[in-house]
Chains A and B, each alone.
Chain A
């Protein structure tokens, strides 16, 4: 399967715990995005990487959130001290510069209890 993959698919955590999600983009895609989707809303932009450089961060991304993309390949999104409001679907998307169609992974559903 050469699509975007995300791990885990589901995560249940207690409030205050740290969680980390992983995204493996399509191998030739140099741009990687993280989005968050809550019920009844469309995906909302969180952050963006071009190769290994994090070029843009949304105001939605509080200082409890950090993302990395070492070596410009896979990316991780970490949430520290999770809160109930962090419960959402976290989506990763990748595409190649010069193209406009983003390809999404299946998402990680986070539930903070």
Chain B
């Protein structure tokens, strides 16, 4: 039972264009969401996060949007650069639960930026 779903295993985007990665969740107790970026043979690197009290958070080229009613979030990268090619994981946290279960991750989306 996947509580965090990333339905696109891969996404190909042209350099300079916008990359949009999507994530859906089912557990209404999740109140904090994070995006991690992962290169092969390395651990995930934190990218950006958003609390459920917000609907948007922006950091440079990265913006995360949260639609609580739809239980949907998305990561926008603009403009996309070759170094953005990686696997992106969406993760969710139930902070009221004390974080004991840690982060719940989706399966990831492999973003490929084409020159």
A48 and B102 form a contact (CB under 8 A): yes
Is A15 engaged at the interface, CB distance under 8 Å to the other chain? no
| Residues in chain A near residue B102, CB distance under 8 A | 33, 35, 45, 48, 93, 102
A33-60 CB mask vs B (1 if < 8 Å, else 0) is 1010000111111001000000110100
A interface footprint on B91-112 (CB within 8 Å = 1, 0 otherwise): 1010100011111111110000
Verify if A100 is at the interface (C-beta below 8 Å from B): yes
Most buried by B among A41, A104, A109: A104
Q: What is the bound-complex CA distance between A103 and B34, given in angstroms?
A: 12
Beta-carbon nearest neighbor of B47 in chain A: A101
Output the residue of A6, A100, A102, A109 with the most chain B CB within 10 A: A100
Decide if B103 touches A45 in the complex (CB within 8 Å).
yes
Given contacts A41-B107, A42-B107, contact A4 B100 (CB under 8 A): no
The answer to the question of A105 belonging to the interface, with a C-beta cut-off of 8 Å to chain B, is yes
Q: Give which listed residue, B43, B95, B100, B106, contacts A42 with CB less than 8 A.
A: B106
Q: Count A-side interface residues using an 8 Å CB cutoff.
A: 26
Chain A, 73-113, CB within 8 A of any chain B CB: 91, 93, 100-107, 109
| Cβ-based interface call for B14 (8 A) | no
By a CB distance below 8 angstroms, the chain B residues around A107 are 41-43
Nearest CB of B to A19, in Å: 18
Measured CB to CB, the nearest residue on chain B to A10 is B41
Residue of A nearest to B51 (CB): A100
B7 at the interface (CB under 8 A from A): no
Kindly provide the distance from the CB of A6 to the nearest chain B CB, expressed in whole angstroms: 8
Chain B min CB distance to A16 (Å): 26
Is A69 among interface residues, defined by CB-CB distance under 8 A?
no
| 11 A-B residue pairings within 8 Å (CB atoms) | A33-B102, A45-B101, A45-B102, A45-B103, A55-B100, A93-B103, A100-B32, A100-B95, A101-B46, A102-B46, A104-B36
Chain A contacts to B: CB under 8 angstroms? 4, 6, 31, 33, 35, 40-45, 48, 55-56, 58, 91, 93, 100-107, 109
Interface residues of B (CB under 8 A from A): 4, 6, 9, 32, 34, 36, 41-46, 49, 89, 91, 93, 95, 99-108
